[in-house]
Every structure is written in structure tokens, then in C-alpha cells.
Structure 1
Amino acid sequence: MFGYSEEQLAQFGLTVGVTAFILYMLFIIAQLARESKAGRFGTFVLFLVLSFGMLGFVAKNVIAWVLDM
């Protein structure tokens, strides 16, 4: 399709899709912190704890990028 292989399209879709999902989850965390009036420290803790799971996806992409150099 458009000169790209199925593997290239799947990789692009996965990267863009999961990145968009991560950004949406960050928006949800910010909304949660705002609605609960968590304050500065509470907001920091919410982002730290709830965003920790996203670190694996980001780390995987960074490690793959470094190894491909």
C-alpha cells in the first residue's frame, strides 16, 4: 500500500497509535489532578505514579533507536 510493506505500516501505526494513547492518558491525569485539587505535590505524585507504566514504551523506543545507530 503506497509503496510500504505491511511491516512498515504496522510499525508506524503502533508507534503513532500508542503515542497518541499516551498523550491522551497524560491529559486524563492532568484533568484528574485539576478536578481533585491535588496541589503541586499531589499533581507531581499523580504524574509520577500513573505515568510510570508508560516509561517502558518510551524506553523501548529509545533503546531501539540507540542500538540502530
Structure 2
Amino acid sequence: MSMFCKLNLTLHAETQHQFSAKHPDWGFWNFIPLSEPRDPDRGFLLDDTLIEEDVFPFRPLNGLVVTLSVDF
């Protein structure tokens, strides 16, 4: 018999940014230190595996809202 525990740890940050030639990049420089997800005591790792899900909602110039979800 095998048993496992599925944990749901969530970090959340929001921003509004419109990309342009003058402002082609953005980000959260201090969202979470890289040492935190690597620390086994923090609960992000399960059997040496880190699963990350990123969701990027954006509003194109035509007014449609699109959400891009990336799972690692």
C-alpha cells in the first residue's frame, strides 16, 4: 500500500502592465527567494519534485481577456 499527501501551497501577486517598445519587460523581483522552494521544510518539494503552476491573464488591445496557464 502506498500513501501520499497532496499539499496546496499558494503564493499570489498581481500587477497591471501594458507592454510597449519603451517597457518590454516586468516582473516581481522579490516575489519569493529561490531558497524557499528548495528548502524541504517549507513544503514545496515532494519526493524531490517541485510542481509550479503559473497563470498569466492578459487583455489584448482588442479587449478580449485571455488566460495562459503554464504547468511545470
**Would you tell me which structure has more strand in proportion to its own residues?**
2
Q: TM-score scaled by structure 2?
A: 0.29
Question: Relative CO higher for 1 or 2, CA cutoff 8 Å, sep ≥ 6?
Answer: 1
Q: TM-score scaled by structure 1?
A: 0.29
